[in-house]
Structure formats: structure tokens, C-alpha cells
Amino acid sequence: MVEPVTTVTSVGLGSAGLYIFGRYWKRRNTRLRALALAEKYSTKTRIGAHQGRMRLLVNLPQVGEVPTNEQTAWREREERRNRNIMELDLIHPVSEIDAPGDEEDQAPNDEERLLELDARSSWIESNEPPMNQHAALVAEEQLGSGVVVAENSDEELEVNIDERLEREGGSSGVVQISLAWDDYNDLDLHVFCPSGERIYFNNKKSDCGGDLDVDMNVRPVSNTPVENVVWKEQAPLGPYKIGVHFYKHHKKGRTKRTCSYRLRVVTHGRSREYIGKIKYGEAMQMVTSFSLEEAP
């Protein structure tokens, strides 16, 4: 005779197993469908590369470039990402160090800088596992967040970014990803590498050669900040995904909780710029992604 408790336990375990398998199967199908969609709507360009070898640059599509039903599915995934960052309690407290309306662009003293770096280190220590979990969810996305692709003739943005990089000592290279915005808030650049690594403020150098060499506004020191990730001489083949996270809202210089930004992606001399917005408290945005492949 089978004990009732044993029967109930077996049924419970079986139901749990089916539920877990069902979730896995659904996510697998969603991922395969997204990959097929990205492949269908991506653009491919042959470019010259290091030592004369040709490369194929594959730019994955923005959400506005796919059919309406796929845009609806993307919005559902975005809502899930926004819930996820709230559930994981990853909304950084608003900085109260600087009073609203303070217009002076003053560099912090050594004591203030150390205090803010210590605060950031403490936040990372407490929140790195959930932040990695959120980043992994964002990295599943195959569509860009719907940013505007700037025209090649719009030289003002390019000059602006170059001037900021020169001011901060940022390097250029065969692959270079630069983020610029125009207030005292702290936005962060996250680059998901072909190796599976993620370059960001807590992992500034990747084993595959990428380097975050400019990271600004941990303290609100500039209303013309820039961040820069670069592969100087060689860049690995494979997919690159670029995320932007609104890490901290600084109350200085009438900064707002919605921040406009410009993102420039340079691949073997070919440049493309994106213009977007992100709100404080939103999920990390998957702004765009591209892949470097061997040209046939």
C-alpha cells in the first residue's frame, strides 16, 4: 500500500517538474523566435578590418523596424524588465549631497570623492548578484530599444563626443563604444562581449581585450560627461550588445529623472550614432547590438 503522504509528495514534485520544464520550453521557443526575427531584419555590411582581412558587420534591428505584433511582444518583455529591476530592489537612492539648483560645476574634494567611491563599493558588494541577474535578463533581448539612429551628416554629435573623449583622455580603437549625456546624472555603459563577459564600472577590463577607460559622474562633477569602452588594436569576432543603465539621479543643476543620451559605435572606422532617453528607475536599456563575422 502506498502511503498517502508519499503519493501527494510525488504528485507535487511531478507538477513542479512539469511547471519548470514548461517555463524552460517557453523561454527556449521565445529565444529561438527572437533570434530568427533578428536574423531576418538585421543589416549586413562588408567592412575593411585589421591586416587587410574583411569583416561582416551585422547590425541587429531596432524595435520599430519589426512587425507590429513583434513590437507588442517587445513591450511586454520591457515591462517584465522594469518589474524585474524593482523586484530586485536595484533602484539606487537619489543623491542628496548636492542641493537642487546648484549650478556650479565644482570638482569634489578628496574626502567627498572617497566617500562616494566607498558608497558605490558598498552598493556593489550588496547588489552585485541581483545586478548580474538583471543584466542577464536584459542580455536576452535581440531587438534595440527603439532609439533614433542619427544621420551621418549630423556632425555636431560626433564632434561633441570627440571633444569630451579628448578632455578625459579616452582612447580610440578598432571597436569603440562611447556614451555622452548633458547633465550631472550618473549613467553607466554596459557592454556584453563576444566572450560572454560584461564590461561595466565593476569590471572595467575584459579578458577579450575591451577596456572601460572613462567612467564619469560617480560624483556629479560634470554636466558634459562621457564614458568609453574600447578595443584598441584587435577586437574579437562575435556579438556585442550595448546597454545603458541610469545608475544614480544626482540633485544638482536642476537635473531631471529623464535623461537624454547619445551613443556612438565605431567598428573598424565605420561610425553609427544613436539618440535615446532613459528614466530613473527603469530597467537597463538594450540600446543596440551588432556582430563582427568573417566575411565570405
Q: What is the pLDDT of residues 169-189, one digit of tens each?
A: 999 999 999 999 999 999 999
Please state the rounded mean pLDDT for residues 25-52. 71
| Residue 268 included in any domain | yes
| pLDDT at residue 101, as a whole number | 43
In a domain, 28, yes or no: no
Domain count for the chain, please give it: 1
> Which set of grid coordinates corresponds to residue 142?
535581440
Mean pLDDT of the chain: 84
**pLDDT score recorded for residue 2:** 47
In this structure, is residue 11 part of a structural domain? Answer: no
Q: Which pLDDT does position 203 carry in this prediction?
A: 93
C-beta of residue 57 within 8 angstroms of C-beta of residue 47:
yes
Cα separation, 234 vs 240, in Å, equals 14
**Helix H or strand E segment including 14:** helix 4-41
Higher pLDDT, 235 or 108: 235
How far is it, in rounded angstroms, from Cα 15 to Cα 49? 53
The predicted pLDDT at position 113 comes to 66
In a domain? residue 21: no
34 belongs to a structural domain: no
Phi, psi of 235 (to 5 degrees): -130, 135
Calculate helix-pair angle for 68-87, 110-139, nearest 10 degrees. Answer: 130
- Note whether residue 272 is domain-resident: yes
The pLDDT assigned to 46 comes to 85
Q: What average pLDDT does this structure show over 123-135? A: 91
3-state secondary structure of 97: coil
Residue 201 DSSP class: T
C-alpha distances (whole Å) from 157 to each of 163, 187, 241, 262 are 10, 18, 22, 8
Cβ neighbours for 235, distance < 8 A, ≥ 6 positions apart: 173, 174, 175, 209, 210, 267, 292
Residue 31 falls inside a structural domain: no
Domain of residue 212, residue span: 43-294
